[in-house]
Amino acid sequence: MITAEELLERILILTTVNSTLLHALISLEAEADVSPKQIRHLAHGVRAVHDSVKQALPNSGEEKSGASFVDDTIQVILTHLERIEDALGKLAESREAKAIPEGVLAEPESTAVVQEPVRETARDLEDLTGKPFQRRLSLRDPERLLSPIEQLLDKYSRRSHLLLPTFWFEACRELFRYSEPRNVITPATRIASKAFHDMVRRLLSEAPSAGLLQALMRKGIGGEELTTTEKSKIITDAREFYTRLAASLKAGSVPEAVGKAKRSLQTFDWGPVDVEKRVVGMFHRGANELAEDASDGQGLSSEDRIIAAELSRYMCVLSASVLSLPRFHQLLAEMKA
């Protein structure tokens, strides 16, 4: 498994390669004495770099369950390498078409061959950095809002099965991986940390969930760590939350956001007949409380009310994810049995 440091190192190498190749393109345009054969050699080198980088990346050739900002950035860089290779090929063809006797100065070539891939990549990067929310490799929690949830998990770790509470903690934690704009991220994580703390606390300390989780612990049922698939599902759900939040904040309509939250609660997935509905009801309760906060609006700004409404929808989505993941379905079924 590639580490964050190794991944960042590779990105730095890739950006350095791209900068070097851009300089080479501009130089080739200015230097008329570079032969088409030399340009084609450079194009082959670009292709070799592209292929080797693509093969070295994690999950190369596989469909990724949830691309992050880093994944998007790498894809832009790889696309940029393809465009540079294409531009070099066109430049070589242009030089060959304009071949003149030795000793005669060549006419300046059109800058379009060089400038177009640069413009295209600039547009891609602008779109990439223009997204309202970007996922980071590291958490940002300056107010230590996650600490109370971690303390709860630690407190109950010896007597309660923690898989289910851990899922909700990680779903909250994932929201802290996003950056900018801070005036949205800060209230979003603050409101979320309180709501998810209440969720985890109830699961661990209130009936019927508390007794059921303790019973699972006594039975010796293992597997309290999230799998890669489960973590990927959380990453996808969080990304979709921020996408919906961006759209809702742009619309700026509290009634519309509250209406969507209430519709999500009306269509809430309670799962199949074999799962413990009382525990699923605790998920519904958390989402409903956020929707009520958004509706009442006491002490909340319009933006905060929209955030609360979207967090309510996020909880509904997460509940459906819990029910769809095999281990959690099995756990909820074991609770009912």
229 token code pair = 């698939």
Specify the higher pLDDT residue, 284 or 16: 284
User: What are the CA-CA distances from residue 267 to residues 38, 63, 88, 138, 286 (Å)?
Assistant: 64, 30, 55, 34, 15
Q: Are 168 and 228 within one domain?
A: yes
More reliable by pLDDT, 204 or 81 = 204
Same domain flag for 64 and 110: yes
b/e for 264-295, b at 16 or more Cβ within 10 A?
bbeebbebeeebbeebbebbbebbbbbbbbbb
- In a domain, residue 137? The reply is no
Domain boundary (130, 156, 175) is at 130
The full length of the chain comes to 337
138 is a domain residue: no
pLDDT > 90 fraction of the chain, expressed in percent and rounded: 52
pLDDT of residue 36: 75
Calpha distance 210→212 (Å, rounded): 5
Interior angle at CA 65, CA 327 and CA 145, nearest 5: 70
Out of 13-22, 164-173, 210-219, least confident range: 13-22
Is residue 139 a part of any domain in this protein?
A: no
The parent domain of residue 229 ranges over 147-336
What average pLDDT score do residues 245-274 get? 95
**309 and 241 in one domain?**
yes
More confident residue, 146 or 136: 146
Q: Flag whether 92 is in a domain.
A: yes
pLDDT given for residue 110 in this prediction = 43
Say whether pLDDT at 143 is over 80. Answer: yes
**287 in the same domain as 257:** yes
| Position 179 in a domain | yes
Query: On the CB side of 258, how many CA atoms lie within 13 Å of its CA?
Result: 15
- Residue 31, SS3 per DSSP: coil
Please tell me whether residues 320 and 202 are part of one structural domain: yes
* Those residues with Cβ within 8 angstroms of residue 325's Cβ, 6 or more apart along the chain or in another chain: 229, 230, 233
Which residues have C-beta within 8 Å of that of residue 4, sequence separation ≥ 6? 137, 138
**Residues 190, 304: one domain?**
yes
Last residue of a domain, which of 130, 164, 193? 130
Average pLDDT over residues 163-176: 97
Band of pLDDT at residue 246, cut at 50, 70 and 90? very high
Residues 312, 169, single domain; the answer is yes
Threshold 0.85, pTM exceeds = no
Higher-pLDDT residue of 294 and 56 is: 294
The arithmetic mean of pLDDT across residues 182-186, rounded, is 89
Amino acid at 134: Q
Q: DSSP characters for 179-248?
A: ES-HHHHHHHHHHHHHHHHHHHHHHHHSTTHHHHHHHHHHTT----SPPHHHHHHHHHHHHHHHHHHHHH
Query: Is residue 63's pLDDT more than 50?
Result: no
